[in-house]
Amino acid sequence: MDERTALRLLAADLPAAGDDAAVVDGLVITTDMLHESTDFPTGTTRYTAGWRSVGASLSDVAAMGAPATCAVAVYAAPELDEGELDDFIAGARDVCAEVGASYVGGDLDTHEEFTTATTAIGKTDDPVLRSGAEPGDLLCVTGELGRSAAAVRLFERGDSDRANDLFRFTPRVAAGLVLREYASAMMDSSDGLVRSVHQLAEASDCGFDLDFDALPVHDAVADVATDDDDFHALATQFGEDFELVCTVPEADFAAARDELDVELTVVGRVTDSGEVLADGDPVADRGYTHGGD
Amino acid sequence: MDERTALRLLAADLPAAGDDAAVVDGLVITTDMLHESTDFPTGTTRYTAGWRSVGASLSDVAAMGAPATCAVAVYAAPELDEGELDDFIAGARDVCAEVGASYVGGDLDTHEEFTTATTAIGKTDDPVLRSGAEPGDLLCVTGELGRSAAAVRLFERGDSDRANDLFRFTPRVAAGLVLREYASAMMDSSDGLVRSVHQLAEASDCGFDLDFDALPVHDAVADVATDDDDFHALATQFGEDFELVCTVPEADFAAARDELDVELTVVGRVTDSGEVLADGDPVADRGYTHGGD
């Protein structure tokens, strides 16, 4: 059973789960675990790890269109080194400050592999779900895709400074607060754009026509890609960019774009076909799946 | 650096941390990580693991004198087995139901060692802290001590049924809601009674006279203890019983005891000496420290 199958079971069983975050009693709550072998390539600083771990949870709050209140983290490592712990906390605190949330501490554990578990809390009585996309709506994405994919390649090449910079993303909390006024459906791109679009199609019972030529791709992707296919996979399948993927009624797009502090790009349109197409061809549901598939 | 030292640094740096749970904006939030090698002896069922992991976080909410709203968990294992995951979720959900909270899902991860990370949320504007004990107050403990210590011995002996039963505790959320009206200071006994009392002494800048003969010890401890010293260590130092340890003004004790659905036992008294004594002799700060010391 891979992670997506297991998550589907979990969602079927728990009505509050199954979106980017659970919503209960006006609270948005989401939790994530990251660990060295799969999430922190050699060269990732503890500061970046703190930022990125907590940021991943804040991104889920953003995807619900909720303000972020606070976050906690568990820091587990083979040895509790004071300098490394301080750096991790600084990163956690700085990413919280970036989105107006408080980092309020957490737990420590000794663990053979460096592992983090983070939880972020937000508040909303009116979350934006994955399930509201309507045929005709525009498919949009914030910011640029491929940052994390490019970073992983740069870590492999030993260019850790640039890779760490790319690995620290701004959780789109502010953008989510604007988009909740306009978006019919929203999620974050943590599993890659293609997989996110498939998930929106499933939750909203709709299809999508994607325009791959319109994708906003970070400059670093061109620097690391080996060829066009690789470029394309890095931008659309690797994921972990933590941008917002949303559907917006065409009449609202200009207002949403103008109100945002980050770029909002149209990358396709919602259809009633039930299929995910790009330039007329079906797009397989490929992306980043923890646990293998 | 052991975990307590690291936690002290964490607390010094983050004003919201340093008690059983952080309190921010009326929310109580706490997070814990448990893993197989240190927390789930061979024989621990996934149902018990779900109950116990989520219960540990709910206990921290209880220790603040707050009602518990909801909990989430990360389930990380080498393989995502559907039956095991279902059992874990059932345990997590049942312990939440036991205290009136909602289990709202979480995240899944593949991880070499079975590992859980749990977060519980409560709400209060008036938490009971560790820092309010006053000389003359009675030192009290809910329920019975030594359940988890006895369980670990029973797991070693292969008596897994009885051990699993002992390992599933009731988080004292209901008791915490009664005690918040009476207690001057409160925490849970997750690190053992002796360590808890030392932590109360440090936070409240006071001393304690303990009466070891008065300790409420679970019957199972006598069944597994090798001698009197062992009995004593299992009851007072092993910890992970998740009972509440609190100080209550003497004039309020009878009312608190009568209102509680669980036994409340007087095990000592707050002094102004700054020392922790039992029957006149100093009691060393020994207990269960993750990370070794």
Helix/strand/coil for B211 = coil
Same domain, B82 and B151: no
Q: Which residues are within 8 A (CB) of B196 and not within 5 positions of it... i.e. 6 or more apart?
A: B187, B188, B189, B190, B239, B245, B287
Determine contact: B90 vs chain A, CB below 8 A.
no
pLDDT digits over A91-132, tens only? 999 999 999 999 998 888 888 899 999 999 999 999 999 999
Type of residue numbered B99? V
Residue A113 falls within a domain, yes or no?
yes
Same domain, A143 and A278: yes
CA distance A213 to chain B (A): 33
Q: Could you tell me if A285 and A173 are in contact, meaning their C-beta atoms sit under 8 angstroms apart?
A: no
Structure tokens, B185: 């200071």
Is A31 labeled as ligand-binding? yes
Same domain, B72 and B154: no
Q: Tell me the C-alpha distance between A281 and A177, whole Å.
A: 34
Same domain, A28 and A155: no
- Cα distance from N-terminal residue to C-terminal residue, chain B: 9
Chain A residues whose beta carbon lies within 8 Å of the beta carbon of residue B72: 22, 29-31, 119
Same domain, A257 and A226: yes
CA dihedral sign, ordered A35, A36, A39, A45:
positive
Q: Could you tell me if A31 and A119 are in contact, meaning their C-beta atoms sit under 8 angstroms apart?
A: yes
Radius of gyration of chain A (CA): 18
What CATH number did the domain enclosing A58 receive? 3.30.1330.10
Q: Tell me the C-alpha distance between A104 and A89, whole Å.
A: 10
pLDDT digits over B102-132, tens only? 999 888 888 889 999 999 999 999 999 999 9
Same domain, A38 and A114: yes
**H or E element in which residue B52 lies:** helix B46-63
Q: What is the ipTM of this complex?
A: 0.88
Q: Could you tell me if B70 and B104 are in contact, meaning their C-beta atoms sit under 8 angstroms apart?
A: yes
Q: Could you tell me if B219 and B145 are in contact, meaning their C-beta atoms sit under 8 angstroms apart?
A: no
Same domain, A89 and A148: no
pLDDT grade for A235, boundaries at 50, 70 and 90: very high
Cα–Cα separations (whole angstroms), residue A3 to B77, B90, B109:
11, 18, 7
Residue B19 falls within a domain, yes or no?
yes
Across the interface, of A6, A69, A80, the residue whose CB is closest to B27 is: A69
Residue B259 falls within a domain, yes or no?
yes
Residue A269 falls within a domain, yes or no?
yes
Which of A142, A139, A145 is closest to A231 using CA atoms?
A145
Helix B147-157 vs helix B160-167: crossing angle, to nearest 10 = 160
> Searching chain B, which residue's CA lies closest to the CA of residue A18?
B105
Give Dmax (Cα) for chain A: 55
CA distance A275 to chain B (A): 28
CA distance B57 to chain A (A): 11
Backbone angles phi, psi at B155, to 5 degrees: -60, -40
Same domain, B278 and B142: yes
Q: How many domains does chain A have?
A: 2
Chain B residues whose beta carbon lies within 8 Å of the beta carbon of residue A97: none
Classify residue A103 by burial, with Cβ atoms within 10 Å: 0-12, 13-18, 19+.
Answer: buried
Same domain, A22 and A158: no
Structural domain including B36 reads 3-123
Model confidence at A292: pLDDT above 60: no
pLDDT digits over A19-42, tens only? 889 998 899 999 999 999 999 999
With an 8 Å Cβ cutoff, are A109 and B13 in contact?
no
pLDDT grade for B20, boundaries at 50, 70 and 90: confident
End residue of a domain, out of A93, A123, A153: A123
What CATH number did the domain enclosing A218 receive? 3.90.650.10
Q: Could you tell me if A28 and A69 are in contact, meaning their C-beta atoms sit under 8 angstroms apart?
A: no
Structure tokens, A110: 């000794």
Residue B204 falls within a domain, yes or no?
yes
Across the interface, of A10, A38, A89, the residue whose CB is closest to B10 is: A89
Which of B112, B59, B190 is closest to A113 using CA atoms?
B112
pLDDT digits over B47-101, tens only? 999 999 999 999 999 999 999 999 999 999 999 899 999 999 999 999 999 999 9
pLDDT digits over B205-255, tens only? 999 999 999 999 999 999 999 999 999 999 999 989 999 999 999 999 999
